[in-house]
Amino acid sequence: MATQVQFFMSPDDEVAFFRHLERFELEVYPRRVPPDWETFRASQANVPRLPEEDLYLVVLAAGPAIVDKVKRGPDKGFWRIDEVRSPVIFFERCRLNEEGELLSGQMWAEMDVTPQTGRKEAAADIFMRTYREVEEYLKKTFRKGDPKPFLVGPKAARLYKETRLVLRDSAHRGGTVVPYK
């Protein structure tokens, strides 16, 4: 089972998060990788270059991403990253919906040996350590939300308080989330 963190990040929170990620060697890939994709490091300066919604952060110290070419379907010709065998952190960005509500994002990584995923050996220690450090950063700097599994970034919490920004779970028929004081 993947280790998952659900959160709300305003654009300012996202910039601060990527400033924290600069200390690690992480490469950015979109969920669907075009054949001509130029990789770049996860850093504060590269936030404008990030893919719009979902992306992968490859922990280079643990090894390169394992990719396969998609041979059929609407993504034919694109590359797909193997989430189980690659040392990647999946990162879904927060975004605004049509009503101006901030939808939740998530971060997860597959590290365990399970029959469902087909992983035959545990993830490398450097990969697990990197993910845990990133997860700890979120838990230390973000507020807890109600319901419990959500974390709310400091700027998103301020926007909630000052402008009455609605924080909505991105799941189907997701409810609203309130940051703890």
Tens of pLDDT along 82-94?
A: 888 889 999 999 9
Give me the number of domains the chain comprises: 1
Six-digit token string for 61 = 């110290």
Q: Kindly report, residue by residue over 66-81, the tens digit of the pLDDT.
A: 899 999 999 899 999 9
Domain that holds residue 164: 3-179
Six-digit token string for 124 = 């490398």
Q: What's the whole-model pTM score?
A: 0.90
Spatial neighbors of 34 by CB under 8 A, at least 6 apart, are 78, 79
Six-digit token string for 120 = 């035959």
> Distance between CA atoms of 95 and 83, rounded to whole angstroms?
23
How many CB atoms within 10 Å of residue 66? 15
Report the interhelical angle of 11-21 vs 154-163 (nearest 10°). 170
> Distance between CA atoms of 119 and 99, rounded to whole angstroms?
41
How many CB atoms within 10 Å of residue 18? 20
Q: Kindly report, residue by residue over 117-161, the tens digit of the pLDDT.
A: 555 666 788 999 999 999 999 999 999 998 888 999 999 999 999
The pLDDT, as a whole number, for residue 2 is 65
Under a CB-based contact definition with an 8 Å cutoff, are residues 155 and 90 in contact? no
